[in-house]
């Protein structure tokens, strides 16, 4: 049992260790500017991916407007920091900005959560996409004095040596809040809604409350990521937060494995790293190749990870098996692990996310299959 408890906190321990390591390196000035920027971006991506994973992976609703919440956070947080102090290297101001930005984004999350009560699947997806584009358009057409119009809002760039530490701190906070929420009885209610809304309702789960809760918490952390983002740049432009950005966050969640927070963390890190590396390595004439490589990697990874025909290959060569081989641990422990309810979500197929009827049957049939073998 002690072993399992330790495993439960593994991600905190790893991230805290990395945070301390990079904090020391950064404060002693050993980190190059490029690495600092990379780390900032990675922490922002992790917060975004973990918060979106709550909506998509656990609540089972597709959101294509996560960048919209981030946009709200970035503009509001940046504006708060500007109003209080244009110079912006005070810890208090940064934290205030983050809180204000997060709360305003959370209010937007509440507003978007309301249609989520009525709409499902793709219809909700397009509403979230529309929300993101509306937010963007409003900030774009603001007056130059308020939010900077087409040139974007001038924001105070926070010292990157400290900002990356804040990034890590907020990754840990996001993780603590979301992971604990998911593992509590509330989390069980949320996954129950995902797996079968009507059955969940029948067992007395307050659907309205939980759906809104998920949207609010998720939007809050997207807003926090937005404030960090605005402090990592001298200007924020609304153009950045278009639907392509939302899709990129969604890619992180899906590649990480639905309903897996650690998966989202790992894939957010890898995708951000890949993007940064491709842009810095492929300069000049070669830069046209980076989108091509990204697209090919994306398609092949998704097919490899999801194609039913490749199931055999996947089971033979995968990360978990690889790690297992190195650690040479007792297979009985795995079995014990699978009995844990919080591992179950990764096993359920995610058809429910997009269409509700047809698929429920399919997944049942599959489960029956599994049992028969």
Partner 1 sequence: MEFISTLLNGLSSGGTYAMIALGYTMVYGIAKMLNFAHGDVIMVGGYIMYVMMLLLSQNVFLGIAVAVVFCVLLGILVERLAYRPLRGASPLAVLITAIGVSYLFQSLALIVFKSSPKMLSVLQISGALKLGKLSVDYSTIVTLAVAAAVMTALTLFVKKTKTGRAMVAVSEDRDAAKLMGINVNFIIMITFAIGSGLAALAGVFMLMKAPSLSNTFGAMPGIKAFTAAVIGGIGSIPGAMVGGILLGVIEAISFKIPLIAPYTDAIEFSILIIILLVKPTGLLGKRRREKV
Partner 2 sequence: MKLSKRILALALAVVTAVSVFSFASCSGDDIEVPEFSAETIKIGVSGPLTGAAAVYGQAVYNGARLAIHEINEAGGLDGTLFSFEMFDDTHDPTKVATGYASLTGKGMQLSLGTVTTGPGLEFKELSKTNMFVLTPSASGDKIPEYANAYQMCFADGNQGKVAAEYVNSLCLTKIGIFYKTDEDYSKGIYDQFKANLSSSIQTVEASFTDSNATDFSTQIDTLKDCTFIFMPIYYTPASLFMTQAKDKIAKNATYYGCDGFDGIESAEGFDITTIPQNVSMLSHFNSKAESGAAKDFVTKYTDIFGADTLNQFGASAYDCVYAIFNALKAAKAAGKTVDGSTSSADMLAILTEQFNGGFTYSGVTGDNIKWEPTGYVNKGAVPYTIKEANE
Choose the one of partner 2, partner 1, none that binds residue 358, judging by a C-beta under 5 to 8 angstroms depending on kind.
Answer: partner 1
Neighbouring C-beta atoms of residue 191, cutoff 10 Å: 21
**Alpha helices in 85-206, H assignment, sequence order:** 91-116, 121-140, 144-147, 160-183, 185-195, 197-202
Q: Contact 32/228 with Cβ under 8 angstroms?
A: no
Q: Which stretch binds partner 1 (CB under 8 A): 36-44, 221-229, 232-240, 346-354?
A: 346-354
What angle separates helix 91-116 from helix 207-231, to the nearest 10 degrees? 140
Size of the site for partner 2 (CB under 8 A): 45
Q: Does 323 bind partner 1 (CB under 8 A)?
A: no
Nearest to partner 2 of 21, 292 (CB atom): 292
Candidate residues 62, 80, 164, 205; the one interacting with partner 1 per rule CB under 8 A = 62
Half-sphere exposure of 199 (CA within 13 A, CB side): 9
The conformation of residue 64, written as its DSSP 8-state character, comes to: S
| Residue 342 near which of partner 2, partner 1, none (CB within 5-8 Å, type-dependent) | none
User: CA–CA separation, 227 vs 78, rounded Å?
Assistant: 6
* Interface pattern 99-138 for partner 2 (x via CB under 8 A): ----------------------------------------
Handedness of CA 35, 36, 40, 41 (dihedral sign): negative
Considering the rule CB under 8 A, would residue 204 count as an interface residue with partner 2?
A: no
Nearest-approach distance from CB 288 to partner 2, in angstroms: 6
**Distance (Å, whole) CA 50 – CA 56:** 10
Q: DSSP code of 154?
A: E
Looking from the CA of 197 toward its CB, the CA atoms found within 13 Å total 18
Q: Does 306 bind partner 1 (CB under 8 A)?
A: yes
Residue 312 as a binder of partner 1 (CB under 8 A): the answer is no
| Residue 5 burial (10 A CB sphere; 0-12, 13-18, 19+) | exposed
Binds partner 2 (CB under 8 A): choice among 70, 164, 232, 250: 232
Residues that bind partner 2 (CB under 8 A): 32-34, 37-38, 41, 140-141, 149-152, 154, 157, 229, 232-237, 239-240, 276, 279-280, 282-292, 296, 300, 303, 307, 309-310, 312-313
Residues that bind partner 1 (CB under 8 A): 56, 62, 115, 118-120, 122-123, 125-127, 129-131, 133-134, 137-138, 140-141, 196-199, 243, 247, 250-251, 254-255, 258, 288-289, 291-292, 294-296, 298-299, 302-303, 305-310, 349-351, 353-358, 360-362
């Amino acid at each position: 049992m002690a072993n399992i408890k330790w495993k439960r906190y593994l991600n905190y321990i790893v991230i805290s260790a990395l945070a301390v390591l990079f904090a020391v390196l950064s404060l002693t000035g050993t980190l190059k500017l490029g690495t600092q920027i990379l780390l900032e971006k990675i922490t922002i991506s992790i917060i975004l991916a973990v918060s979106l994973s709550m909506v998509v992976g656990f609540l089972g609703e597709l959101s294509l407007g996560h960048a919209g919440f981030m946009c709200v956070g970035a503009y509001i947080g940046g504006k708060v920091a500007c109003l209080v102090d244009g110079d912006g290297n005070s810890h208090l101001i940064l934290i205030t900005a983050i809180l204000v930005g997060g709360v305003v984004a959370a209010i937007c999350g509440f507003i978007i959560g309301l249609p989520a009560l009525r709409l499902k699947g793709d219809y909700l997806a397009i509403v979230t996409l529309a929300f993101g584009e509306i937010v963007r358009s409003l900030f774009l057409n603001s007056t130059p004095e308020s939010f900077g119009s087409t040139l974007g809002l001038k924001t105070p760039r926070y010292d990157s040596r400290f900002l990356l530490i804040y990034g890590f701190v907020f990754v840990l906070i996001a993780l603590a809040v979301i992971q604990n929420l998911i593992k509590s009885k509330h989390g069980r209610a949320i996954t129950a809604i995902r797996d079968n809304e009507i059955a969940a309702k029948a067992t007395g789960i307050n659907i309205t409350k939980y759906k809104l809760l998920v949207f609010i918490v998720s939007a809050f952390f997207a807003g926090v990521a937005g404030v960090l983002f605005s402090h990592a740049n001298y200007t924020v432009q609304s153009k950045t937060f278009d639907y392509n950005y939302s899709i990129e966050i969604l890619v992180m969640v899906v590649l990480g494995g639905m309903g897996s927070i650690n998966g989202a963390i790992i894939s957010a890190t890898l995708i951000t790293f890949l993007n940064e590396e491709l842009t810095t390595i492929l300069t000049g004439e070669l830069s046209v190749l980076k989108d091509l490589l990204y697209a090919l990697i994306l398609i092949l990874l998704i097919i490899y990870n999801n194609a039913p025909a490749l199931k055999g290959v996947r089971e033979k060569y995968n990360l978990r098996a690889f790690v297992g081989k190195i650690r040479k641990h007792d297979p009985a422990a795995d079995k014990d692990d699978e009995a844990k309810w919080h591992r179950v979500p990764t096993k359920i197929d995610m058809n429910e996310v997009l269409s509700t009827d047809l698929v429920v049957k399919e997944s049942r049939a599959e489960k029956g299959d599994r049992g028969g073998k």
